[in-house]
Structure 1
Amino acid sequence: MGIEMSRYNIVKGIRGFLKWKYFIRWFLLIISFLTVWTIWENLTVGTTYYHIENERIPRVFDGYKIAVVSDLHNAEFGKENSQIIKIIEKEKPDMIAITGDLVDSKRLDIDVAITLVQKLMKIAPCYYVTGNHEAWIGQRFSELERKLLDEKVEVLRDRVIQLEKDQQSIQIAGVDDPDFADRDCSIQSSVLLSKIKDLKLSDEYCVLLSHRPELFDTYVSEYVDMVLSGHAHGGQFRLPFVGGIIAPNQGLFPKYDAGIYTKEQTTMIVSRGIGNSVIPVRFNNRPEVEMIELNSQEH
């Protein structure tokens, strides 16, 4: 009896060891996969596509393509950002929207930003708005702005431009980041509201470049048709069925972290961005270039 019990315990122990070994093997395999996947995600840039249908879009702008580059933060993907250039060259956009934080205030390198812009301008006209990091670099921003203007970039500092095709037009507008006026978050909505009102937008379809997605209700209140934004970095770490974990000016589990949001007349598209700032690593949150195609519903 004792021998049988001893044999039983040995067999049970071996089975338990094998189960534990099996578990460890799968655990290490999963960790290895997640590590490789995260490294790959952080070293490459993807493309996200959106089709925006609206009866207010003139027929001559049907199929008009906008590439969005947001939150570069001086990042480089390939030599002189060749990954980004190849993506946008392939898509052949009609315009390129740069929606803020082209530079990073903590590791400022204006040359990286300008080198990218020089190459982008060879693909399509570029329209640029500031982000909070441009506001934080102080007097160096005038140097960045001057170099952008030298490259013939449309710097939209509280400006609106009419894009005309065959005697029909849409508006491309842009507003400075609120941090240029005041870093007090409690008044930034009113600051932005005043800026949009001062644009005196017409009744034509309007694409507004504005860095801050958390101020969505302000855009809605002014009946802006489409807003191109960034700033949230996709929530930095993204969980399935949950979304982003944290974003500037929104805190934990941000409401507007990435993707498309629609309320009343207004559609806002929030880019996950390209670079990083405070947190150097992303998880389940690949850097992206957005490609937006306008589709007219005119008959």
Structure 2
Amino acid sequence: MKKFVLFSFVSLLVLGVSLTVYGFFIEPKRITVKHHELGENNGQNSIRLLQLSDIHLQKNYSIEQLEKIVAAVNEEKPDIVAFTGDLFDNFANYGPVEETAALLSRIEAPLGKFAVWGNHDYGGGAVNAYAQLMAAGGFKLLENTGEMIQTSNQKNLYLSGIDDSLFGSPSIESAMSYRTDAAYSVLLSHEPDVVEPAVDFDVSLILSGHSHGGQVNIPFFPVTTALAEKYISGFYSLGDQTELYVNTGLGTSMIPVRIGVPPQIVVFDLYI
């Protein structure tokens, strides 16, 4: 009996140490790529839209990691890249502007690179640098605005974005007011729980982040955050024609740990 108790104790100790090492030092530095096809494939070329979210650059998730992210993005050969916010975790503590902009500028997307504000893009002094940094990196910052994109099959895709919902002044109505004749509409919103009104504007796809998927996957006890309590990760149907995808992001915040929620880049092949 004593041997069994000792064996159980040692096993639990080894498991705990292993999970700690994995959660703090291995999984957070992984980069996984998820692929999804949306729309009806009738032999037409797809529009490859790649989503990045919640990079949270910081001292333990630095420029070297961003370089790996950029390389992984370019391997996917996206037509469009969309960043749904939170570039730095705390800009005041770690905010290398020139190096970050230089790396972002290396991302290749012939139909455009777009971004929206996240809540961390306002904090720590980031509000004074984020817009200029993204512009230097070749990203168009969508602040309750949108842009019509003509695709190779002569069909227009409308890509819009709203301001951050915690510290900004978001307006889905304003963002959608720039749309004219579009075969497909995409809305970027950092926080997912605020996007249900987009159904009234016939948005095809909404891309969000913010939740980090909880960072730690605890069965039956989801870890949530403000404005990402209802929609936490993956696909959700909003009405008959609108889908929401919540990206669990790349970096971490608060505690630099991920267990069962590996960092992700998401690729959507849109058939329109």
- The TM-score with structure 2 as length reference comes to 0.84
Work out whether 1:262 is the aligned partner of 2:248. Answer: no
Ranges in structure 1 where 5+ consecutive residues have no aligned partner: 1-15, 183-190
> Which residue does the alignment assign to 1:125?
112
Work out whether 1:48 is the aligned partner of 2:34. Answer: yes
Q: In the superposition, relative to structure 1, how do residues 93 and 77 fare at CA in structure 2: closer, same or farther (>3 Å)?
A: farther
> Which residue does the alignment assign to 1:70?
53
- What are the residue-to-residue correspondences of 1:2-81 with 2, within 5 Å? 16-38=1-23, 39-54=25-40, 60=44, 62-75=45-58, 76=61, 79=64, 81=66
Aligned residues of 1:41 and 1:287 also touching (Cα < 8 A) = yes
Work out whether 1:248 is the aligned partner of 2:195. Answer: no
Q: Deviations over 1:247-284 (max 9, x none)?
A: 2334xxx3211111112211111111112223332232
> Which residue does the alignment assign to 2:271?
295
- Taking only the aligned residue pairs, the percentage that are identical comes to 25
Q: In the superposition, relative to structure 1, how do residues 135 and 226 fare at CA in structure 2: closer, same or farther (>3 Å)?
A: same
Aligned residues of 1:71 and 1:273 also touching (Cα < 8 A) = yes
> Which residue does the alignment assign to 1:236?
215
For residues 218 and 243 of structure 1, what CA distance do their matches in structure 2 show? 28
Q: CA shift at 1:225, angstroms?
A: 0.6
Q: In the superposition, relative to structure 1, how do residues 178 and 54 fare at CA in structure 2: closer, same or farther (>3 Å)?
A: farther
Aligned residues of 1:95 and 1:126 also touching (Cα < 8 A) = yes
Aligned residues: 265
Q: In the superposition, relative to structure 1, how do residues 220 and 40 fare at CA in structure 2: closer, same or farther (>3 Å)?
A: same
For residues 236 and 125 of structure 1, what CA distance do their matches in structure 2 show? 30
Q: Deviations over 1:201-225 (max 9, x none)?
A: 5453101111110113122232211
**Correspondent of 2:101 among 70, 93, 114:** 114
For residues 123 and 107 of structure 1, what CA distance do their matches in structure 2 show? 34
Aligned-partner residue type, residue 221 of structure 1: D
Aligned-partner residue type, residue 236 of structure 2: Y
Work out whether 1:88 is the aligned partner of 2:63. Answer: no
Q: Deviations over 1:29-65 (max 9, x none)?
A: 322432343231122221122221258xx975x4221
Q: What SS does the corresponding residue of 1:261 show, helix, strand or coil?
A: strand
For residues 179 and 46 of structure 2, what CA distance do their matches in structure 1 show? 27
Q: In the superposition, relative to structure 1, how do residues 231 and 26 fare at CA in structure 2: closer, same or farther (>3 Å)?
A: same
Q: In the superposition, relative to structure 1, how do residues 34 and 152 fare at CA in structure 2: closer, same or farther (>3 Å)?
A: closer
> Which residue does the alignment assign to 2:199?
220
- The TM-score with structure 1 as length reference comes to 0.77
The structure with more radius of gyration: 1
For residues 196 and 78 of structure 1, what CA distance do their matches in structure 2 show? 32
- What are the residue-to-residue correspondences of 1:93-242 with 2, within 5 Å? 93-105=78-90, 107-111=93-97, 113-121=100-108, 125-137=112-124, 141-164=127-150, 165-181=152-168, 191-200=170-179, 202-240=181-219, 242=220
Q: Please provide the CA RMSD for this pair.
A: 2.8
